[in-house]
Structure 1
Amino acid sequence: METQWVTEPPHAAMDRRPRKRPRLTWDMPPAIPPPKGPGSLYSGQKFVIGAGSNYVFPTYYYPPAPRYASPPWRGDDKDGHYVFAIGENLTSRYKILSKMGEGTFGQVLECWDMERRELVAIKIVRSIHKYREAAMIEIDVLQKLARHDIGGKRCVQIRNWFDYRNHICIVFEKLGPSLYDFLRKNSYRSFPIDLVRDLGRQLLESVAFMHNLRLIHTDLKPENILLVSSECIKIPDYRFLSRPAKDGSIFKNLPKCSAIKLIDFGSTTFEHQDHSYVVSTRHYRAPEIILGLGWNYPCDMWSIGCILVELCSGEALFQTHENLEHLAMMERVLGPLPHHMVSRADRHAEKYFRRGMRLDWPGGATSRESMRAVWKLPRLQNLVMQHVDHSAGELIDLLQGLLRYDPAERLKAHEALQHPFFIRGVRRYV
């Protein structure tokens, strides 16, 4: 699996769809060239600088390090990311094979576990105090999940953890690509409704499991849902059979197996902890968070609603980067915000509303492009019917329950699992 959170240009065949949102490119420092010269310590290795580097430097010929030797000591990069070389060891047990992804927390490496003789994914956290603290909390959550997740079917399994050169390293089982990566590599072509049904059922089962343990994920999104297997099959894309896509493709890929697991519990909180700060990635953030009303379990359910729309359409439901536009998009798709929520908005959110508690839109829009982005959005019912051939009515009803503004009225995970969309769709995707 190769995960690169970079800005993608719109695919030629998707020219009618909105431009994909940036993926943390602001978080990536520029690549630093490797040391040069015949006596360079790193010659003979593929050298990678920290989390921001998407470039693997060419191999120089030099005798490789002994199999179980630790790599030479070297400093972290300027942002506290671990600097590594492809092919060297991480402790004497793990051999680094490739970089899988990166983010604000640090980076994820694909490694070979020489003791258990299996592929693993190792999350190497930045050597900064707040990220180290967050990593220790994540380890507590992962261990709690592992104790209760018999068979390890719902959440990624922690294999091990250790503190290496001031970096917390968490060892996970190796899984397949994220749902976002699968969509991206498939030109953002939507999943069939039966597959969406199966993925949605598993996602709700995993979240219900977490909520029963009094845990709130707070960062559910396609990037944090991984397929267990990387295998896929190619099938005809019937939308393009009579008119090939602009890239000439009339086929799309589908996962061979639909099994998924949740990952990234770095933002997971317990029910009793403070719930006043901002959580969730922008596109999947619930209205109560934007309005500063506090949040709880229902914020996960809002995110699931957004995810289901994305899986059946290929595009994020709310592609925005600022609060007023986000609220305007919500009203465009779902109708006006309820007055009882607007009246309780905190002082940071008050500026988004005019007297009479109406959203300051389009008067407060920052640009014509922003206004167009809101105006072109269809109502939820129309959006679903554009992409779903059967079960559209049941899916719309489910989404209306998941995307209710008032968190007290939003469907709970166990309630959503009893919805006709899942009960009547008994055929399981293989």
Structure 2
Amino acid sequence: MDTSQAGARREGVSGNTWSALSAAGTGPIRSKSPRAILDLFGPQLSHRQKLELAAMEQVWFFTVDEVDKPRGGKNNDGYDDDNNNYIPVRKEQLHYRYEVQKLIGEGGQGLVLQCLDHKTKTLVAVKMLSLPLCTSTASRQRTELEVTKELQGKASDERYGVIRLLDTFQFRGHNCLVVELLKKSLYDVMSKGSIKRICVRRLREYTRTILDFLLYAKRRGIVHGDIKPDNILLTAAGKVRVTDFGCSCYLKSHSTQ
């Protein structure tokens, strides 16, 4: 065994995967710099991956198993499909922090993945927007990012039903939003049976929170633009969280159109 292999084993490298979990005040710190990853696995990495790692400040999850793995994509060096949506591979890394577990939603604006955040050791939802190849798409995505951030505030999730934004990043050209993982929507509840099966108390709670959200958004000068059961998520306790700001706009710009 050469010194680099011995060092890898001492630092916790097992097979082709290395995961560093933040101490954040608990337990010993296990950390490896992007430079160290490049030194260890450089020959196995693509040029694009090397550039990505060189731009990172911290690596939380890393795997070389995905290197040049065929995805069948025709765009973005094979990473994207015909609609310029990213083609995910199970157990691959996103932004050297999030481990892809499964696809949980997709639409005209991108897809949503359930991922494990190796920094916080929690499950999250990562919304990967389609590759912005024109100015109109880039502008819309920029507005979605701005609106999502603008609506965040002290207890805005509990008081106004705003989905909690945990992180944003760009990965292989795709804008990504990390939000709390909620597995049930109002549409799911309704599709299981008639709306009449939902008790009146619940209906009032849902309605009140949605109206509170709309008033809160209006005070911030924002129009959601796509309120529907699919975009009303529910926590385990049945609390409403409004999500998906891809059709949102600001009142000022909206009035000038």
TM superposition score normalised by structure 1: 0.41
How much does 1:155 deviate?
0.5
Q: Which residue of 2 aligns with 1:272?
A: 252
**Structure 1 match to 2:201:** 194
For 1:274 and 1:171, how far apart are their aligned partners in 2? 27
Task: Summarize the alignment of residues 133-144 of structure 1 with structure 2, pairs less than 5 Å apart.
Answer: 133-144=139-150
Other-structure match for 1:180: 187
What letter is aligned with 2:248?
T
Q: How far off is 1:126 after superposition?
A: 0.9
Q: How does 1:61-210 map to 2 (within 5 A)?
A: 65-67=16-18, 68-69=62-63, 71-72=66-67, 74-129=78-133, 130-146=136-152, 148-150=153-155, 152-153=157-158, 154-184=161-191, 186-190=192-196, 191-210=198-217
Q: Secondary structure in 1 aligned to 2:89?
A: strand
Instruction: Indicate yes or no: 2:242 matched with 1:262.
Output: yes
- Partner of 2:202, secondary structure, is helix
Matches of 1:223 and 1:152, distance apart in 2: 18
Is the CA contact 1:105–1:131 (under 8 Å) kept in the aligned structure 2? no
Secondary structure of 2:177's partner? strand
Q: What CA distance in whole angstroms lies between the structure 2 residues aligned with 1:150 and 1:197?
A: 21
Q: State the shift of 1:65 in Å.
A: 4.9
The answer for the alignment partner of 1:308 in structure 2 is: none
Task: Spell out, residue by residue over 1:163-199, the C-alpha distance to the aligned partner (whole angstroms, 9 max, x if none).
Answer: 1111111111112311002222x13453122211111
Looking at structure 2, the residues matched to 126 and 105 of structure 1 have their Cα atoms a distance apart, in angstroms, of 6
Cα distance in 2 between the residues matched to 1:155 and 1:133: 22
SS in 1 for 2:254: coil
Listed one character per residue, the Cα deviations across residues 95-143 of structure 1 (whole Å, up to 9, x for unaligned) are 0111110010010000000001111100011113343432221111111
What is the one-letter code of the residue matched to 1:93?
Answer: R
* Cα distance, 1:276–1:192 mapped onto 2, change above 3 Å: farther
Change (3 A) 1:149 1:207: farther
- What aligned pairs does 1:377-392 form with structure 2 within 5 A after superposition? none
**Cα distance between partner residues in 1 of 2:120 and 2:244:** 23
1:280-319 mapped onto 2 (5 Å cutoff): none
Gap runs ≥5 in structure 2: 1-14, 19-61, 69-77
Contact 1:125 1:132 in 2 (8 A): no
> 1:280-359 maps to which residues of 2 (within 5 A)?
none
Counterpart AA for 1:72 = V
Corresponding residue SS for 2:218: helix
Q: Whole-Å Cα distance in 1 between the matches of residues 88 and 209 of structure 2?
A: 36
Residues matched between the structures, number = 186
SS of 1:226's equivalent in the other structure is strand
Query: Distance in 1 between the 2:154 and 2:104 partners?
Result: 25
Identity value in percent: 25
Q: CA RMSD in A?
A: 2.1
The 3-state SS of whatever aligns with 2:225 is coil
Instruction: Report the CA distance shift for 1:75/1:88 in structure 2 as closer, same or farther (over 3 A).
Output: closer
Deviation at 1:144, TM superposition (A): 1.1
Name the SS for the 1:128 alignment partner.
coil
SS in 2 for 1:143: helix
Q: Say whether 1:216 aligns with 2:220.
A: no
Flag the structure with larger Rg: 1
SS at match of 1:77: coil
Structure 1 residue 149 displacement after superposition: 4.4
Is the CA contact 2:156–2:162 (under 8 Å) kept in the aligned structure 1? no
Q: Which residue of the partner structure matches residue 248 of structure 1?
A: none
* Secondary structure, counterpart of 1:115 in structure 2: coil
Distance 1:72 1:188 in 2: 48
Q: Tell me how far apart the structure 1 counterparts of residues 256 and 194 of structure 2 sit (CA, whole Å).
A: 34
For 1:167, the aligned partner's letter is H
Residue identity opposite 2:228 in structure 1: K
Structure 1 residues not aligned, in runs of 5+: 1-63, 230-256, 278-430
